[in-house]
Amino acid sequence: MDRRRVQGPETSVVPLPTQEALAKRAALPAPVQDGKRADGRGPEDIRPIFLRTGLISQASGSAYIELGQTKVACAVYGPRQLKKQQGFSEQGRLYCEFKFATFACKKRRHPIRDPQEKEFSQIIVQALAPSIRLDRLPKSVIDLYVTVIENDGTASCLAAAITAASVALADAGVEMLDLVAATSLGYVHQQLLVDCSAAEEAYQQHTDLILAYMPSLGQVTHLLHRGPVDWPPMAAVGGACCVHVYLLLMMHAQ
Amino acid sequence: MTTSVSPYAFTAETFKRVQPEEYYRKILEQDVRPDGRAFDACRTTIVNAGCIGTAEGSAVVRIGDTTVVCGIKAEVAEPTLDQPQQGYFVPNVELGPLCSARFRPGPPGDLAQLVSERLRSLLYVGSSKVVVLEDLCIEPEQAVWVIYADLTCLNYDGNILDACVLALSAALKDTRIPRASLDVDEGIVRADEQATQPLTLRPFIFAATYGIYEGRLLLADPNASEEPLMASQVTVCLMEDGQLAALWKSGGGLCSMEQVQQCIAQARKRYTELASLVSSSSSN
């Protein structure tokens, strides 16, 4: 039992929807109609991005990103000295803690991090470490904390987190090779959709891709893919979207 | 001593880091605070409600740089045996490592636990509760609503208690829970997402915190750099008609009866400001 938090009942559940609502949900329209998605986007359009740096004044660097309804805050602390018990490291270390706020998803998340959140933390580290000059930071650690305030598409949350974390690192003045721009793609009803919302993720998905890319170096830092797919067109669309995000970041930097 | 600055003199920034107390005292002598505020001035306060679509109710509060997000989630559970008609209200504050370098990763620290407990204790002030728990009943002895109020701090710049009380009030006002009923045959609760209703709430409680500097000066809304310099802090929680809901004094410094009276008088003014902010914050 967790004695450090105010306790509620032992178990609680989300109530089931009414029969009528269930019937309505079963008869969903096709995700793309006349070349337009439910929110008026084309299949290969990302949602509008809002990005702000420096909102978390206590951190060395920070970024807040909105991707449609998806909202992610990211703070960087460091580079700071590695603790004694963490041992010696010739290269700098990157540590990431990714967390969904308990109210961020349709179903309430537990305040303690679950395996998915730990996996996402690792992915962010792997996606960003190649872009940072860690060889210049011996005996130090950079801490990266990411909190998702609203989840409108879990894959898009991860992509937004990678992008925001990269911008926050730049805001903290960490020496980097390039900014990392990330994007998410999914196949819904044999249709390639970029940057899926939560409503689109609710369709049966067999294929998805999260791509983190350094456009000016032309290097992929991380790629997470699942499902059978015709690879070349998916990679082309993913790359183009990363470049699009990157250009927005560059515009923000000016 | 000539007028030229000695090469060994501190710049203001260094002086602040090396001798924070002396730095602070020198500035207060000019009847102003380091950030340019008057003694009784609070920082700019912003309330924005209804900004998180996945929560049943939500609010973002900024007091200066201090930022708190409150999200309300409603779930269904069995009531306790001794209170078969009452729902649950579960407030929790999360002061994660994201919001300041002073917090470490891991379970909630002392400050987060303290603020959570204070929020919970505010529920049981006076004759009626902030959230009317009897109205959260779906079916006596079978099913009731659980209201989870989670507050996440995004930026810690002092006075977290005021920000949390304000965010909680604004989010509760914004909350709409679906109409639910127990399906007796199946033994499950079904909720109609289309037909939502607001919570039954008692008039709001707002908090105002004052730092007492050297037992003589009252400083409203202390920020993170001022807080450690205050020997004691007084938090006044008021209800709608100016009635006292709670009074907390922390720290060991001296604090006279007149100063407490002064705090309450200033808090009454602050209450009207906050009440109008919350009433105009709603998106619907």
Q: Where are the domains of chain B?
A: 37-279
Q: How far apart are CA A82 and CA B101, in angstroms?
A: 15
B99/A5 CB distance under 8 A: no
Mutate which: B144, B153, B154, vs A, most A CBs within 10 A: B154
Residue of A nearest to B106 (CA): A112
Q: Residues of A with CB below 8 A from B122's CB? A: none
CATH match for B37-279 among 3.30.230.70, 3.30.2140.20, 3.30.70.580, 1.25.40.10 = 3.30.230.70
CB of A84 within 8 Å of a chain B CB? The answer is no
Cβ–Cβ contact A147 with B under 8 A: yes
Q: What is the mean pLDDT of chain B?
A: 90
Is the ipTM above a cut-off of 0.90? yes
The closest CB to that of B77, out of A9, A97, A146, belongs to A9
Residue position matching structure tokens 């810690």: B156
Task: Find chain A residues with C-beta within 8 A of B63's C-beta.
Answer: none
CB contact under 8 A, B96 and A99: yes
Say how many CB pairs under 8 Å bridge A and B.
Answer: 146
Judged by a CB distance cut-off of 8 A, whether residue A150 touches chain B is yes
Q: Which residue of A has its CA nearest to B97?
A: A145
Closest to A16 (Cβ–Cβ): which among B146, B155, B188? B188
Q: Cα distance from A30 to chain B (closest Cα, Å)?
A: 22
Chain segment A87-107, per-residue pLDDT in tens: 888 999 999 999 999 999 999
Q: Print pLDDT tens along chain B (284 aa).
A: 455 667 777 788 888 889 889 999 999 999 999 999 999 999 999 999 999 999 999 999 999 999 999 999 999 999 999 999 999 999 999 999 999 999 999 999 999 999 999 999 887 766 667 788 888 999 999 999 999 999 999 999 999 999 999 999 999 999 999 999 998 888 889 999 888 999 988 878 899 999 999 888 999 999 999 999 998 999 999 988 888 888 999 888 888 899 999 999 999 999 999 999 998 887 54
Token representation of residue A80: 């700071």
Do A150 and B107 lie within an 8 Å CB cutoff? no
Tell me the pLDDT tens digit for each residue of A182-234.
999 998 888 899 999 998 888 877 788 999 999 999 999 999 998 888 889 88
Rounded to the nearest 10°, the torsion over CA A169, A175, A179, A180 is: -70
Q: What is the per-residue pLDDT for B1?
A: 46
> Domains along chain A?
42-253 (3.30.230.70)
Maximum average pLDDT range among A31-35, A65-69, A196-200, B123-127 = A65-69
Distance from CA of B2 to the nearest CA of A (A): 39
Residues 129-148 of B with CB under 8 A from A: 146, 148
Element housing B197 (H / E): strand B188-198
* Of residues A9, A71, A152, nearest to B88 (C-beta): A9
